[in-house]
C-alpha cells in the first residue's frame, strides 16, 4: 500500500448523494467506470472537487476529469446520456491543461433544460484511474464544498510487461457517440481478466485501453477506425475481447424490422437504409439496368396471337417448374408462386380482351399484367403491394419468350460487384445467386419482399430503402456495404477496406468452426443446458437445419406451405408434408403451429372480411376458430404423423385461455376418432394480455412459446412495417423483457417449458439476457444456430441472471443492448483466459 496520505474530495454541487448502485446506468452502477458515488443535483454550477489539472476530453462539455498531484483521475459526469446533447446546455469555464483549485467554478449547466432531454440528472463522481475510496457520504443531502469522499492512493494495477510480438488490429468504433465514458469503461472492463498491455491509436495519438479517461481524450467518434495494439503473453485473448466491443457488433433483426433510410453522416460518406439480408461486403458500385422491351401494338390476327401467347405462357411455366424442382426454401416457394401467376385465368382473360381488339400477344399480355400490378400496388396491404413487383417480373419473362429470347437473362457482374438498383425483379436476384456478387443495394424495396428473402437465402448482404441518392453514385465507386448496422460507406480509406476484409475472413473462419461444433449440445460454463431449435417454413429447410445443429423444430410456420394455394390443402396433403418434415428432422421434436393467417398473411382460399386494422382483427387462433372445419382438418393431419409423440401443436396469437381449452377439446375429439394419443399443446404468447395471464395459460397449456415479433409490436405500439418507427421496435426494450420475465416465471412455477421463437431468439446479443430471465430453449433461424450454441457455451448462467436483473431496471433498449454487449464481452474474455 502506498504511503501517500489520503486526500478529500468535496461535493461539486448541491444535491442528494447516493451509492453508485442506484445510478440508472449499468456501466456506472456496476463500477466499470470506477469506484465512487453519485449526486442528484439541485444546483447548476459544478465546482472543482479537489486541486488538480484538467485532463483533455475532446468534445466532452458534459463531464470534467481532474488529475490530482498523486496521479488519481477524478471524473465528474453530469447526468446520464448527456453526451447525446453535444454540449448543448453546458457552459465551461476551463481549458484542457488548466490547473485549478478546489471550489473553483468549472462548469454551468441548465438543470431544467437537461431534465427535459436526458433520462436522468444523477451525476456520478468516480475515480477513473488509481486510488480507492476509504469513506464516502451517501444517503443524504450535501452542499457544494461539503466533504464527499476520502481517497487513498492505492497501488496501480500491475500489467504484464510488454514482451513478445505486438498484435495490431484496425477496428471500427460502432458506439453511437464514440468512445465516451460508458463505452470506454466497457473496454476497460472487458480487458480486466488479461495482463497484456493494450493501447488504442488514433490520428497520431495513442492511449491506454485500461484507462477510460485516456481513451476519451482521443476524441474518437462513431465510425472512426482505431488501431488496437496488444503485447504480452495473453495478447491474442485480450485482442479478441477488445474486438467483441470495437469490431462491428451483429444485432440480428427480423425481416419485419426496418431501418428507415436517413440522412447521411456529417461528411456525406455514409447512406443509411434498411437491412434486408445480413452481412458485410467490400466492393465496387455496379448499376443494374434492364431496358424496356419493344412491343408492337397491332397483332396479325386474334387466333395466331392467342396461340403465341399460350405457347409463351406454357414455356415460362415449364421453365419455372423446372427451376422450382431444383430450388430450395424461399426460392422454391417464389418460383412456385410465379408459376401460379403465369397460369392465372384472370390474367389470361384480361389479355384475351386486348387480343379481341386486334392487339398483339405481347401488347395484350403487357396490358393485362400491368393492370393487375397497378391494382395490387394501390392496396394498403404491404404484402400485396410487393406481389405487384412479382407481376412486373412475370410480365418481362413472358415478353422475352415472345421475343425469342431466354426468359431469365443472366448478366455477368463480378464477385466484387455491389449491385445498385431502384428495385429488382425477383428473377434477377435468382440469376445473381448463380452469377455471384458481393452485395445488393436498392433505393426502394421492403423487408418482406421476395427480393429480400431471396438475397438472405442466397447469402448476399443486402440493404433496401436507401433513397434516390444511391442511384447517382458513379459506376465503380468503392464502397463498404454494412448490412449488420444498416449503412453504405462511400470511398472508404484503403486501410478501412483492408480491415473489414480481414474481419469478413475471420467471421467466415468462425462460421466454419461453429458449424463443425454445432452437433454438440450447448451448456453454459456453469452447466445450464440451453436447447437451440430451428424455425422452419418448408421441408427444404429441415435437413440444413439439422446440419446446423438444430435439436428440433420449435416453430413450423404451416401457413407458408400454402400461401399461394387457391384451394385449401386436404388432410392427406398436410399429413404427408408434415410427415416428410418429421422424417427430415430424424426423430427430433417438431412443434407445428396451426395456420397463423390474417393480418399481413392473407391466403387466397381463406378470404377474410375487410378490416380497418388487420393486426387487431381476425388473426391466428381467432381466424382458425372462424373456420373450424379447416382447423379440424389440420389437427387430424398433425395427429397422423409418426412416430406418435414427435409432434406438438402450437396455437398462435392466443389472448384468452378459453381458446386453448376449446382447441384442446377439438384435438381430444380428433384423437379419439383416429385412435391415437394426445400431443402436447402449447400457447404462443404474443400479446401483453397473454403475457399478463401467463400463469393461467401455463395451467391450460403444456408448454409456452414467446413470439417476440408481435409481442414487441403490441407492447410498444409500433407497427412492424412502419418505416419511420421501425428503428425503435426492439424486443430488448425493458417493457418487452418484463413481459418475457412474467412468462418465464409462470412456466417455471408450473413446471412448463418456455421457449422463444421470435426474431429475438436469433439475436446473439440477446442470449445472455434471455438465459438470465430463465429462458433456456430458443428457436431460431437455422443459419444462426451454430453461433448461438457457441455463444451459449461461453456464458455463465449466474452472471446472466445478474445481467437480466439489471436489464429489467433500465429504461431503454439501447441501454439493455449496452449491458448485453458487456455481458458477451466478459463471457468471451473469461473463456479466453481459461
Q: How far is CA 601 from the centre of its chain?
A: 22
What is the C-alpha to C-alpha distance for residues 478 and 476, in angstroms, rounded to an integer? 6
Report the pLDDT value the prediction gives residue 825, as an integer from 0 to 100.
Answer: 72
φ and ψ of 96, to 5 deg: -55, 135
The active-site residue, picked from 553, 647, 757, 800, is 757
Q: pLDDT, tens digit, for every residue of 356-393?
A: 989 999 999 888 888 887 776 665 555 555 566 677 77
Per-residue model confidence (pLDDT) at position 681: 97
Is the pLDDT confidence value at 733 over 80?
yes
281 or 828: whose pLDDT is higher?
Answer: 281
Question: Cα 22 to chain center, whole Å?
Answer: 30
**In sequence order, what DSSP letters do the residues of 552-612 get, joined into one string?**
SEEEEEGGGGSTT-SSPPPHHHHHHHHHHHHHHTTT--EEEEPP--BTTB-BTTB-----S
Cβ of 226: how many Cβ atoms within 10 Å? 25
Please determine, for residue 783, whether its predicted confidence score (pLDDT) is greater than 70.
yes
Q: Where are the beta strands (DSSP E) in 140-273?
A: 141-142, 147-152, 167-172, 197-202, 205-208, 225-231, 270-272
Provide the β-strand partners of residue 230. 167, 198
- Is the pLDDT score of 728 beyond 90? no
More confident residue, 152 or 749: 749
Lowest mean pLDDT among 56-70, 442-456, 623-637, 814-828: 442-456
Rounded to 5 degrees, φ, ψ at 57 are -140, 100
298-307 per-position pLDDT tens digit:
888 999 999 9
CB proximity list for 754: less than 8 A, separation 6 or greater: 703, 704, 705, 706, 743, 744, 746, 747, 748, 774, 775, 777
Q: Residue 705 in 3-state DSSP?
A: strand
**φ/ψ of residue 678, rounded to 5:** -85, 135
Cis peptide preceding 643, ω within 30 of 0: yes
Q: Considering only the top CATH level, what class is 302-402?
A: mainly alpha
Helices (H), 82-178: 111-117
The pLDDT score that the predictor gives to residue 576 is: 96
- Residue 668 CB neighbour total at 10 angstroms: 12
Is the fold of 270-288+411-509 the same as that of 302-402?
A: no
pLDDT the model gives residue 410:
43
Per-residue pLDDT tens for 183-239?
Answer: 787 888 788 888 888 999 887 778 888 887 778 778 787 777 888 888 888 888 888
pLDDT of residue 148: 95
Q: Strands, DSSP E only, in 400-470?
A: 417-421, 439-442, 462-464
376 close to 388: Cβ distance less than 8 angstroms = yes
**Is residue 774 within 8 Å of 744, Cβ to Cβ?**
yes
Chain segment 473-502, per-residue pLDDT in tens: 988 999 999 887 778 999 988 877 787 777
Task: With a cut of 80, say whether residue 252 has pLDDT above it.
Answer: no
In 702-782, which ranges are continuous DSSP H helix? 708-716, 734-750, 767-772
DSSP state at residue 298: B
Report the distance separating Cα 425 and Cα 403, nearest Å: 19
Contact indicator for 697, 746 with CB cutoff of 8 Å = yes
- N-to-C CA span, the chain: 29
Q: Where are the beta strands (DSSP E) in 120-196?
A: 123-129, 132-136, 141-142, 147-152, 167-172
**Active-site residue 450, yes or no?**
yes
- pLDDT score at 242: 84
C-alpha torsion angle, residues 569, 575, 577, 579 (rounded to 10): 170
* Residue in 592, 607, 722, 710 with CA at minimum distance from that of residue 655: 710
Q: Any idea where the domains of the chain sit in the sequence?
A: 7-152, 167-246, 270-288+411-509, 302-402, 517-833
Among 727, 819, 728, smallest CA distance to 773 is for: 819
Check pLDDT > 70 for residue 327: no
Q: Look at residue 712 and tell me whether its pLDDT is greater than 70.
A: yes
- What contacts 798, CB < 8 A, 6 or more positions away? 526
Task: Say what the pLDDT of residue 349 is.
Answer: 87
Please say whether the beta carbons of 362 and 402 come within 8 A. Answer: yes
Q: Which regions of 389-538 does DSSP assign to beta strands (E)?
A: 417-421, 439-442, 462-464, 478-482, 487-490, 522-523, 529-536
Query: Percent of the chain at pLDDT above 90?
Result: 38
Q: What is the model's pLDDT at position 57? A: 76
In this prediction, residue 2 carries a pLDDT of: 45
- What would be the CATH architecture of the domain defined by 270-288+411-509? 3-Layer(bba) Sandwich (3.50)
More confident position, 58 or 779: 779
401 Ramachandran zone, left/alpha/beta (phi>0; psi -120 to 50): alpha
User: For the segment 253-292, what is each residue's pLDDT rounded down to a tens digit?
Assistant: 333 222 323 333 445 688 988 777 778 888 999 887 665 6
Distance between CA atoms of residues 600 and 796, nearest Å? 39
Residue 383 burial class via C-beta count within 10 angstroms: exposed 0-12, middle 13-18, buried 19 and up: middle
Express the helix, strand and coil content of the chain in percent, nearest 5 each. 40, 20, 40
pLDDT of residue 142: 94
User: Which set of grid coordinates corresponds to residue 105?
Assistant: 467554478
Q: Does domain 167-246 have CATH number 3.30.1340.10?
A: yes
**Per-residue model confidence (pLDDT) at position 264:** 36
Q: Which grid cell sits at 419?
A: 449491385
How distant, in Å, are the alpha carbons of 272, 507, 693, 719 from that of 382? 22, 34, 32, 12
Average pLDDT over residues 499-508: 77
Of the candidates 576, 650, 566, the residue with the CA atom closest to the CA atom of residue 602 = 566
Tell me what the mean pLDDT of segment 135-160 comes to.
78
> How many Cβ atoms from other residues are within 10 Å of residue 723's Cβ?
15
- Least reliable range by pLDDT among 108-112, 249-253, 298-302, 401-405: 249-253
Residue 651, pLDDT > 60, answer: yes
- Residues 786, 514: Cα–Cα separation, whole Å: 5
pLDDT for res 750: 95
| DSSP structure string for 641-683 | -SSTTSEEEEE-S---HHHHHHHHHHHHHHHHHHT-PPPPEEE
Please give the pLDDT value at position 120: 84
- Among the residues of 12-121, which ranges form H helices? 26-29, 111-117
**Homologous superfamily of the 7-152 domain (CATH):** Glucose Permease (Domain IIA) (2.70.70.10)
Contacts of 757 (CB under 8 A, 6+ apart): 535, 554, 555, 684, 705, 706, 707, 779
- pLDDT score of 503: 75
Q: Tell me which fold the domain 517-833 belongs to.
A: TIM Barrel (3.20.20)
Percent of the chain's residues with pLDDT above 70: 82
Q: Over the chain, what is the mean pLDDT?
A: 82
> What does the pLDDT look like over 754-781, one tens digit per residue?
999 988 888 888 999 999 999 999 999 8
239-248, 481-490, 567-576: least confident range: 239-248
User: How far apart, in Å, are the Cα atoms of 108 and each of 51, 125, 524, 607, 824?
Assistant: 19, 16, 49, 65, 38
Q: What is the pLDDT of residue 250?
A: 35
Pairing verdict, β 132-136 and 777-780: unpaired
Cβ contact 478:493 at 8 Å:
no
Set of cell numbers at residue 291: 431496358
Entry pTM:
0.59
Weakest-pLDDT range from 266-275, 392-401, 586-595 = 266-275
* Contact (CB, 8 A) for 804 and 740: no
Work out the average pLDDT over 142-157. Answer: 80
Tell me which of 450, 485, 733, 776 is the catalytic residue: 450
Q: Which residue has the cell 431471396?
A: 454
Residue 506 pLDDT: 76
Contacts of 607 (CB under 8 A, 6+ apart): none
- For the record, the C-alpha cell of 447 comes out as 423487408
Around Cβ 137, how many Cβ atoms within 10 Å? Answer: 16
Mean pLDDT, residues 646-666 taken together = 95
Q: If 0-12 CB within 10 Å is exposed, 13-18 middle and 19+ buried, where does residue 587 land?
A: exposed
What confidence tens digit (pLDDT) does each residue in 685-704 have?
999 999 999 999 999 999 99
Whether pLDDT at 610 is above 60:
no
Amino acid at each position: 500500500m502506498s504511503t501517500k496520505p489520503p486526500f478529500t474530495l468535496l461535493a461539486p454541487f448541491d444535491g442528494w448523494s447516493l451509492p453508485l448502485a442506484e445510478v440508472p446506468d449499468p456501466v456506472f452502477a456496476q463500477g466499470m467506470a470506477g469506484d465512487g458515488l453519485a449526486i442528484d443535483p439541485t444546483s447548476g454550477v459544478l465546482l472543482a472537487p479537489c486541486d488538480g489539472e484538467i485532463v483533455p476530453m475532446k468534445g466532452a462539455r458534459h463531464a470534467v476529469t481532474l488529475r490530482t498531484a498523486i496521479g488519481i483521475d477524478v471524473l465528474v459526469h453530469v447526468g446520464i446520456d448527456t453526451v447525446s446533447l453535444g454540449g448543448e446546455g453546458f457552459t465551461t469555464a476551463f481549458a484542457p491543461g488548466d490547473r485549478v483549485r478546489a471550489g473553483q467554478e468549472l462548469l454551468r449547466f441548465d438543470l431544467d433544460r437537461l431534465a427535459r432531454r436526458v433520462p436522468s440528472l444523477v451525476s456520478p463522481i468516480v475515480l477513473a484511474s488509481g486510488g480507492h475510496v476509504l469513506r464516502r457520504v451517501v444517503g443524504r443531502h450535501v452542499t457544494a464544498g461539503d466533504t464527499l469522499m476520502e481517497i487513498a492512493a492505492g497501488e496501480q494495477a500491475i500489467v504484464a510487461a510488454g514482451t513478445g510480438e505486438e498484435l495490431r488490429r484496425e477496428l471500427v468504433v460502432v458506439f453511437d457517440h464514440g468512445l465516451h465514458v460508458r463505452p470506454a469503461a466497457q473496454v476497460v472492463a472487458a480487458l480486466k481478466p488479461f495482463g497484456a498491455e493494450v493501447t488504442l491509436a488514433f490520428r497520431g495519438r495513442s492511449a491506454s485501453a485500461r484507462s477510460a479517461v485516456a481513451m476519451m481524450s482521443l476524441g474518437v467518434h462513431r465510425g472512426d477506425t482505431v488501431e488496437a495494439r496488444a503485447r504480452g503473453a495473453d495478447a491474442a485473448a485480450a485482442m479478441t475481447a477488445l474486438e467483441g466491443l470495437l469490431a462491428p457488433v451483429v444485432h440480428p433483426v427480423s425481416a419485419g424490422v426496418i431501418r428507415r433510410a436517413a440522412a447521411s453522416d456529417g461528411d456525406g460518406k455514409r447512406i443509411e437504409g434498411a437491412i434486408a439480408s445480413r452481412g458485410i461486403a467490400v466492393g465496387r458500385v455496379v448499376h443494374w439496368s434492364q431496358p424496356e422491351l419493344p412491343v408492337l401494338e397491332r397483332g396479325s390476327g386474334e387466333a395466331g396471337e392467342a396461340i403465341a401467347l399460350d405457347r409463351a405462357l406454357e414455356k415460362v411455366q415449364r421453365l419455372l417448374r423446372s427451376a422450382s424442382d431444383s430450388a430450395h426454401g424461399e426460392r422454391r416457394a417464389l418460383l412456385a408462386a410465379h408459376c401460379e401467376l403465369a397460369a392465372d385465368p384472370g390474367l389470361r382473360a384480361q389479355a384475351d380482351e386486348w387480343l379481341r381488339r386486334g392487339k398483339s400477344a405481347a401488347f395484350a399480355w403487357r396490358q393485362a399484367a400491368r393492370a393487375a400490378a397497378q391494382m395490387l400496388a394501390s392496396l394498403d396491404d404491404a404484402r400485396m403491394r410487393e406481389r405487384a413487383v412479382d407481376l412486373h417480373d412475370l410480365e418481362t419473362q413472358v415478353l422475352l419468350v415472345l421475343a425469342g429470347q431466354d426468359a431469365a437473362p443472366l448478366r455477368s457482374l463480378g464477385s466484387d460487384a455491389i449491385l445498385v438498383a431502384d428495385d429488382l425483379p425477383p428473377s434477377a436476384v435468382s440469376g445473381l445467386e448463380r452469377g455471384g456478387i458481393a452485395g445488393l443495394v436498392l433505393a426502394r424495396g421492403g423487408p418482406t419482399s421476395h427480393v429480400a428473402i431471396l438475397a438472405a437465402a442466397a447469402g448476399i448482404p443486402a440493404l433496401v430503402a436507401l433513397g434516390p441518392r444511391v442511384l447517382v453514385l458513379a459506376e465503380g465507386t468503392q464502397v463498404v456495404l454494412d448490412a449488420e448496422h444498416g449503412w453504405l460507406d462511400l470511398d472508404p480509406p484503403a486501410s478501412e477496406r483492408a480491415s473489414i476484409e480481414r474481419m469478413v475472413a475471420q467471421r467466415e473462419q468462425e462460421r466454419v468452426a461453429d458449424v463443425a461444433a454445432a452437433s454438440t449440445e450447448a451448456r453454459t460454463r456453469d452447466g445450464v443446458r440451453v436447447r437451440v431449435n430451428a424455425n422452419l417454413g418448408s421441408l427444404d429447410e429441415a435437413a440444413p437445419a439439422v446440419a446446423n445443429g438444430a435439436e428440433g423444430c420449435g416453430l413450423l410456420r404451416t401457413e407458408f406451405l400454402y400461401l399461394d394455394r387457391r384451394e385449401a390443402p386436404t388432410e392427406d396433403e398436410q399429413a404427408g408434408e408434415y410427415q416428410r418434415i418429421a422424417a427430415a428432422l430424424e426423430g427430433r421434436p417438431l412443434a407445428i403451429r396451426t395456420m397463423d393467417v390474417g393480418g399481413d398473411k392473407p391466403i387466397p382460399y381463406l378470404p377474410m372480411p375487410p378490416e380497418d386494422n388487420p393486426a387487431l382483427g381476425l388473426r391466428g387462433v381467432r381466424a382458425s376458430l372462424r373456420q373450424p372445419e379447416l382447423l379440424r382438418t389440420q389437427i387430424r393431419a398433425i395427429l397422423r404423423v409418426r412416430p406418435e409423440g414427435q409432434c406438438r401443436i402450437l396455437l398462435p396469437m392466443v389472448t384468452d385461455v378459453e381458446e386453448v381449452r376449446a382447441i384442446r377439446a377439438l384435438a381430444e375429439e380428433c384423437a379419439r376418432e383416429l385412435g391415437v394419443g394426445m400431443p402436447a399443446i402449447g400457447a404462443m404468447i404474443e400479446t401483453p394480455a397473454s403475457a399478463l395471464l401467463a400463469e393461467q395459460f401455463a395451467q391450460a397449456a403444456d408448454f409456452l412459446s414467446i413470439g417476440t415479433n408481435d409481442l414487441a409490436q403490441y407492447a410498444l405500439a409500433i407497427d412492424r412495417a412502419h418505416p419511420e418507427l421501425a428503428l425503435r421496435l426492439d424486443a430488448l426494450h425493458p417493457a418487452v423483457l418484463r413481459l418475457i420475465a412474467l412468462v418465464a416465471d409462470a412456466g417455471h412455477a408450473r413446471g412448463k417449458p418456455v421457449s422463444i421463437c421470435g426474431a429475438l431468439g436469433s439475436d446473439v446479443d440477446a442470449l445472455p439476457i434471455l438465459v438470465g430471465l430463465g429462458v433456456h430453449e430458443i428457436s431460431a433461424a437455422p443459419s444462426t444456430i451454430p453461433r448461438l450454441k457457441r455463444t451459449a457455451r461461453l456464458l455463465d448462467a449466474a452472471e446472466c441472471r445478474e445481467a437480466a436483473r439489471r436489464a429489467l431496471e433500465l429504461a431503454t433498449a439501447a441501454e439493455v443492448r449496452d449491458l448485453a454487449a458487456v455481458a458477451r464481452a466478459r463471457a468471451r474474455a473469461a473463456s479466453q483466459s481459461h
